Structure 1
Amino acid sequence: MVQQAMQYIDQTPDLDTKTELIKTLNSVSAGKIYVEIERARLIKKLAKIKEDQGLIAEAADLMQEIAVETFGAMAKTEKTAFILEQVRLCLDRQDYVRAQILSRKISPRVFEAETSKEKKKPKEGESVVEEPPADIPSLLELKKIYYQLMIRYHSHSNDYLEICRCYKAIYEIPSVKEDPSQWIPVLRKICWYLVLSPHDPMQSSLINSTLEDKNLSEIPQFRLLLKQLVTMEVIQWTSLWNTFKVEFENENNMLGGSLGEKAAEDLRLRVIEHCISLQNILVVSKYYSRISLKRLADLLCLGIQVWLLV
């Protein structure tokens, strides 16, 4: 009866009637395990109505009432899509703590499952998995949505390395890698966020693997940018900024949007860190047997106070 009544939702004459019917069906199905999937779908419809009315907080609260990860009969794609919707609404209301908790219900390994395998028939006693609705995205589309949401989450704390890894995962999606209009903006973002990331073994490993990517030859200026980080040469901030300023500003119009308000400041900070690291002191020592702090500061376009602090 609930399934039959749900078919009439889209035939309701106005929004008030539609909302009232959804609420009635929700009340009827509350607490009944055999219609838990129908109740989740009803809640999702009601949350969408609330969101369209600008009530983001109410929509997020509604969605969080349902723990679909416990639904054995719900298809994996529908379950994943539901949790991603919960995460998105939490991000929209700037509830980053809850967004992180919800996102951990999804293991990235779920997107690596082979979809080409034939579905096994359920054994006796096992619950039958229902087919997902037609509007549920495929597993690879959900993978892209997941990492886009994770980029939004990590952008809040300016965790550049994690943002880079998310873009790296998007870059590996076949539909993205086959379309230059998609992979070029993503590869640009990977390069920028690698440069913005603090120096550590993970960052070094990602830089070297990215430099080996043949697609990087399509955007040679970014190969040059990454090369500067792995070459034993001093980076002069003024020269680097003059070279890449236009590319930096062009990111605002590229897929994925701008690099963030702090990015330009953090880029300069990374160049300074690169220049005052032990490795780059060794670079300077190859060319100078003796050098004053003033001359070193002039070479690197830094104030002498920076070196006094070091």
Structure 2
Amino acid sequence: MTRVEASTTAVENSTAVDNNKAADTVEVVIVTGLSGAGRGTAARVLEDLGYYVADNLPPELIVRMVELGVHADPPIRKLALVLDVRNRFFTGNLTAVSEQLRAAGVRTRILFLEASDDVLIRRFGFARRRHPLQSESADGTLTAGIAAERERLSKVKTAADLVIDTTALSIHQLHRKLEEAYGGGAATALQLTIQSFGFKYGVPLDADLVLDLRFLPNPHWVPELREKTGQDAPVSEYVLSRPGAQDYLSTARHLVDLTTEGYRQEGKRYMTVAVGCTGGKHRSVAIAEALGETLAATDDGSGDVVRVVHRDLGRE
């Protein structure tokens, strides 16, 4: 894991892509496929992997969007474009656009998502919504709408770099497939925030796991430690030397390890561990710092990033 330091909390008119700049800075994934096959899930996964996601962009504007990304400050280096039949300008043919981008040196990949008719029908039934082509079909049925969409998208499916059939996939399995394909080294990395806080100011609403340090003696009642914080060595040494502190720290570390591994399996990439004491000044700060250090010191190859923040430090 990697420890990241964190502070205390209280366009151009050109019509062609700039070859040199685009080749170095932009990667484009075009996400398309059948309605109900998982495009929305794919967009969310790609966004978590650092892609800027644009939904339902007309194909004619794709090159322009890449140009804007190239010249943005900071530039958009990873771009995911979701295209589907809701857009009346999308005919299912992306050959010209993809060839133009690739000729300019932009790494361009097409992802196509599909599923069997019976699964798509069941998903639309659960969602209680109409298929975008249902009203245009001859008999107005969902089955006819799906068939019309398959026919319209047959060319883009043939041209796709990756086709994923989500018929038998759970959301978590789809997550993993997409992360393997587009995540690179960050496919299983998790952003872990260790946040100290004071119970008297309220428990953080976004906490996934809450640790209560109020069982430890409070340095507030030690005159020479009262004005110091858990970031100061005398306070940290005092807190960590109290009976039960090291056992609690080891148990907390084990619990975090178990939870983060489960989060990775479930496709979750963000976790917040809230470490609390009465005022968020001494005990919680010292334990949060120690927990962050022991987590960051482990080189397990996961690529996880650990941030330690102190929400209420300085409020007293």
Structures share fold, TM-score greater than 0.5: no
Higher helix share: 1
More strand by share: 2
With the length of structure 1 as denominator, give the TM-score of the two structures: 0.29
Q: Which has the higher contact order (CA 8 A, sep 6+)?
A: 2
